[in-house]
Amino acid sequence: MTATHSPVLTGPVEDYLKAIYDLERGAGPATTNEIALRLAISPASVSGMMRRLADLGLITHEPYRGVRLTEEGRRAALRTLRRHRILECYLTEVLGYSWDRVHDEAEQLEHAASEELVERMAAALGEPAHDPHGAPIPSRDGTVEEWTLRTLADASAGERVRVRQVMDKDAARLRYLAELGIRPGASVSVVDRAPFDGPITLLVGGAGAEVTRAVGPALAAQVFVEPLGAE
């Protein structure tokens, strides 16, 4: 029984935990450099913070080997992630934000909004399960829907897929994807894949209202999809 209830973490600490959580999900332990890159902070500063986080019992740190969240650190990261994603939902659905602008606003608010505020927002929205970019919202008790989806860049010609999630860091990219009709829930058929990292030709939209689009592989790699039965 490790209770140790949220001793109120600072904004920066929450940001570090979120970054580590995310990096750890891909490869193994998160490395100093990766964290520094993601948070736009010098590696030396990250090293210093790793020390503090380890002292707080939020991570375990093997020098020169990387860091891992402890159970407590994971819980804290998921709490912040839940706040962030519910805020994103609320901003788009209730306050009319476009999906390319919610990320930055939520990034600020997530450190200031109380648990209660966020839960009231979630209730007002009917306890949403995914944020506007399709990312799953962690539950109150710290569980998350953990899938490993393929990206549109991995889909082969002739395949029919449904868009599940798009990466939300870059606003311009999100605006462009919205223009193309590529958003969570949309169905997409891969018409053709040009060789040598060439463009991927798609049919976007439901039966009857399909439009032809072409995207580069870099963009396609930002779009997570699941198979939908061959065409």
Partner DNA sequence: AATTATGTTTAGGCAGCCCTAAATAACGCC
Partner DNA sequence: GGCGTTATTTAGGGCTGCCTAAACATAATT
Q: Footprint of its own copies on this chain (CB under 8 A)?
A: 91, 94-97, 105, 108-109, 111-114, 116-117, 120-121, 124
Catalogue the E-assigned strands of the chain.
59-62, 66-69, 150-151, 160-166, 187-193, 200-204, 211-215, 223-227
Residue 92 found at the interface with DNA (CB under 7 A): no
Is residue 202 within 8 Å of residue 157, measured between CB atoms?
A: no
Residue 94 vs 218, nearer CB to its own copies: 94
Region binding DNA by CB under 7 A among candidate stretches 40-48, 98-106, 122-130, 170-178: 40-48
Q: How far is the CB of 6 from its own copies (least distance, A)?
A: 15
Which residue type, as a one-letter code, is found at position 221? A
- Quote the CA–CA distance of 112 and 102 in Å, as a whole number: 16
Residue 199 found at the interface with DNA (CB under 7 A): no
- Quote the CA–CA distance of 165 and 132 in Å, as a whole number: 9
Residue 60 found at the interface with DNA (CB under 7 A): no
Q: How far is the CB of 10 from its own copies (least distance, A)?
A: 12
Q: How far is the CB of 77 from its own copies (least distance, A)?
A: 19
- Quote the CA–CA distance of 69 and 67 in Å, as a whole number: 7
Task: Find the binder of DNA among 3, 40, 95, 209 (CB under 7 A).
Answer: 40
Q: How far is the CB of 23 from its own copies (least distance, A)?
A: 25
DSSP letter assigned to residue 153: G
Which residue type, as a one-letter code, is found at position 67? V
Q: 145-164: which residues touch DNA (CB under 7 A)?
A: none
Task: Find the binder of DNA among 32, 92, 151, 165 (CB under 7 A).
Answer: 32
Residue 77 found at the interface with DNA (CB under 7 A): no
| Residue 153, C-beta contacts closer than 8 angstroms, at least 6 positions apart | 200, 217, 220, 221, 223
Residue 17 found at the interface with DNA (CB under 7 A): no
For residue 76, with 0-12 CB atoms within 10 Å meaning exposed, 13-18 middle and 19 or more buried, which class applies? buried
Q: Which positions lie near DNA, rule CB under 7 A?
A: 10-13, 31-34, 40-52, 61, 63-64, 66
